[in-house]
Structure 1
Amino acid sequence: MSNQFLLNHLASFSIAGPDARSYAQSQFTADVDRLAGDAWSPLAWCDPKGRVLATMMARAGENRVDLVLPAVQCESIREGLGRFTIGRRVDLSESGPVSGVFDGLGEATPLAFDPERGLLNDVAAPGDAAALRNWRRLDLCQGLPWLEPESSARHLPQWLGLEELGAVAYDKGCYPGQEVIARLHYRGTVKYRLAGLEIDTVEAIDAHARITDAAGAGIGHWLGGMALESSTIGLAVLATRAESDGAVLVACGERAHSARVTAPETLC
């Protein structure tokens, strides 16, 4: 019996051709020249202001770079990347499904930061609700900040914890937003950080929902999360002044819910 299950919140496409690696190197935050085909590694695509358009998982072969990203962003990101291929010997494939594996990876390629989990692009395995929930919770615990259209082009990579995931290289060539990102790394002060949040009730929080302190001052934004049996957990971008174990307020329609600030790894 197959242990593969569909990750219906993700989708995939590939960049293929003689210039695939050099093209990807010119677009993404990670050093594509160091990527291999035996692990999925995180990276980001940014706008010229250094704001992250999408976070992705990538693996690279000789003439191919495979990408996995949120399904709600896949077509817009694929089309956006396609606008910069003029003069490059590359083709972008049609989007396809993504499946996951927990045990006995088989043909699945492991995640670089979690080798006990594996991804298969262009594979539509059967659905498994329990396995999917477990997968999504592990992504939260490991601080993997998947974006949605509402949270795209809002945050610098450092605010999303992408440095800690090894998704940003400072010793490679130029890519969109590189000057802004490098300036913050070498000369700036990081004013925001990735944090975990816990809400004691089951709530549906919109992507990029506003987060305030007790006095009502803006302190950050919700990225995404999931409901558990009696609570809600998620990731947020918060001002560095927000204390761990402190309380913040997360907007939900006309209401605001109290949430405890914690490290992402405590969400499991």
Structure 2
Amino acid sequence: MGKELQKLRARKEVRKRLDAIDSRRDMCLVIHYSCESFYDIKDGRTPRVTSIAIREFESGQTTSFSIHKNAELKGVPLADITAKYDELEKEMLAEFYAYLKTKPDHSFIHWNMRDINYGFQAIEHRYRVLKGEPVSVADGKKIDLARELVALFGVKYAPHGGSGRLHSLMEMNDITAKDALTGAGEAEAFERQEYVKLHQSTLRKVDVVANLLDRVLDGSLKTKATWGDQHGFHPVAVIEWINEHWLYAGLTIVALLLGFYVTFKDMI
């Protein structure tokens, strides 16, 4: 199959998934989390998780899990969190996975949470390292909005810049960046043990992803995609389709020519 036809079919599949989300908003959860910067880790371990937020797409209600909240419940001062980090992190992740057990049929919309560096796998692995038993979310229940937007609008729909496409989309769509830290900002906050700031950033970003999803569904999302990118039109796709369906295309042309002949034969 030609490259442009593949893009058209991928866009069609994305639209089907988005229609399914729109029809069952009550079964969709938007998830985001913050963690230690994986770029700064030198010993090969997975990054420590600092906070996780899950927003019910239909109601907007948000459930969150964070290191500093668990520390507060146990009477651990913020200054002492580092010394008890593993213990607090394990308790936080235990609560997170207990929550997941109550949502076995829900779909999870996320932003780039797709590998062992940053994603569901990374959280699962971190919990196993802490001797916990994670609950796996089926791949079919994970929807990466970042990848869906590329399929819908093309890679140039938003500049990556220094802060990533998420922040670019926020700027283009007049969504306030208050509390939403950049990747570099989150890494700095972790080093400074500013766990409350990291939690606020996680809450803000899960709200932003839900906001962007809403705009995609109602067609109001502003991007830098061209008309052709937005509507999936490319002349090469027509050529590829003809090459793949040459017999059907040939019969169509013959039918058109016969139609012209019948219509205009008296004028010939």
**Shorter-normalised TM-score: what interval?**
under 0.3
Higher strand fraction (1 or 2): 1
Q: Which has the higher contact order (CA 8 A, sep 6+)?
A: 2
- Bigger Cα Rg: 2
TM-score, normalised via structure 2 length? 0.23
TM-score, normalised via structure 1 length? 0.23
